[in-house]
Chains A and B, each alone.
Chain A
Amino acid sequence: MGEFTSHILDSAPPTGELESTNQLLGIVVIVAILITFFIIKIRKINK
């Protein structure tokens, strides 16, 4: 699954290749939405 591919496998895409602030911002927004979803679900289950 992806956790080892970026570093250990020589043939995998190299890392540190993306520098764009917009790309980073977009990813942060997507991940924030996913984390919010996860937190809402967990809080609901914990009630």
Chain B
Amino acid sequence: MREYSFIVTSRKNYRLVIYSLAHFSVDFSCFFILFSGIAAETTLKITALGFLIYNIIAFGLQVVIGAICDKNPKLLSGFIGCVLVLLGIFIIKWYWFALIIAAIGNAFFHIGGGIDVLKNGEGKMTPNGIFVSTGALGVSIGTLAGKSGIGLVFIPILLMILMIIITGLISFNTNVNKNIKKVIPYKIASEKSFILIVICAFLIVILRSYIGTIIPVSWNAVELLVIVPSICAMLGKGIGGILGDKFGARRVGTISLLLSIICFIIGKEFIYIGLLGILLFNITMPITLCILASKLPNDLGLAFGITTLGLLIGVIPSFFVLVPNNFKLYITILLIIISATFIRIIASNDLKK
């Protein structure tokens, strides 16, 4: 019996590794298309519009695709997503079509991977933190690769072919799926009402997304640091799940957000403190996802989609409004305090044994 459970656990682990690698690859490829195609060929305004269209399709569609996948659990959304992203890279010459196809693929992949990881997460935040974390790195390295020019197109092609093969293997291998007999529910949410928890979790994601666009840092122009903030964001999301499982979601979510305020105040001048702030600020990401999964156990696709819809809504103001630098810190502090209050209301400290 112990041997059987070990086999199931290790299979779940390699599914997590595969989907996390695929998450990196999908985000890498989408940003490669954006920067080697649209940014290289058009003006700054058109690039910003392309980036916004990408966000609307990739993030906004997930709530719809998630609901569809909940009704049709046999839909191989993760695999379909990888295929569409590869198709997008193949037609990169027509960069608008490429971006739209890749963004749709991105939406499918996130839902497919997100549902799989939530289902196999055994009620813990750690796997979800690991899965969501790799995207941030894919975005920044994909951006750098895309800016280097179309000559590097072989990298996303090879990555996506590999991901299609391995996500295809786990998607079509029914023996593996048979072993996943019971989905262990998440119990991260507090005892408050269903509607209050869902709305507060949604608002936290919107606030986190918006704060991410106005964080007051003065050192982001340093060329060498292009990837470092995204590594910190990645670590924050990954560590968030681990700490949440160990010490309780409410405790970890609230403390990390409040500590991030201190880091952002000091970090304006001191780069390492600012980076620590980014890490701490991202810790709530797997927590909010698992809070929604706790309240929507039979609609995990919808739960994942709600978080990405929140990401989309939070990022939209930054395309139209520039916040004066003098106000950025004050707005950040205020919104983080509101987020921490919401986390305190809707998260519980129940520890998964």
Contacts and interface: CB of A to CB of B under 8 A. Distances in A.
Contact of B313 (A1, A4, A6, A31): A31
Nearest to B138: A1
B220 A8 contact: yes
B252 interface: no
Interface in B216-230: 217, 220-223, 225-226, 229-230
Interface in A1-47: 1-19, 23-24, 27, 30-31, 34-35, 37-38, 41-42, 45-46
B318 A7 contact: yes
B320 A8 contact: no
Interface residues on B, range: 35 or more
Given A9-B229, A10-B226, A3 B215 contact: no
A16 B198 contact: no
Contact of A34 (B47, B60, B233, B299): B60
Contacts of B47: 13, 17
Nearest to A7: B213
Nearest to A5: B139
Interface string B236-259: 000000000000000000000000
A13 B99 CA distance: 15
Interface of A: 1-19, 23-24, 27, 30-31, 34-35, 37-38, 41-42, 45-46
6 contacts: A4-B212, A8-B212, A16-B321, A17-B45, A23-B52, A27-B316
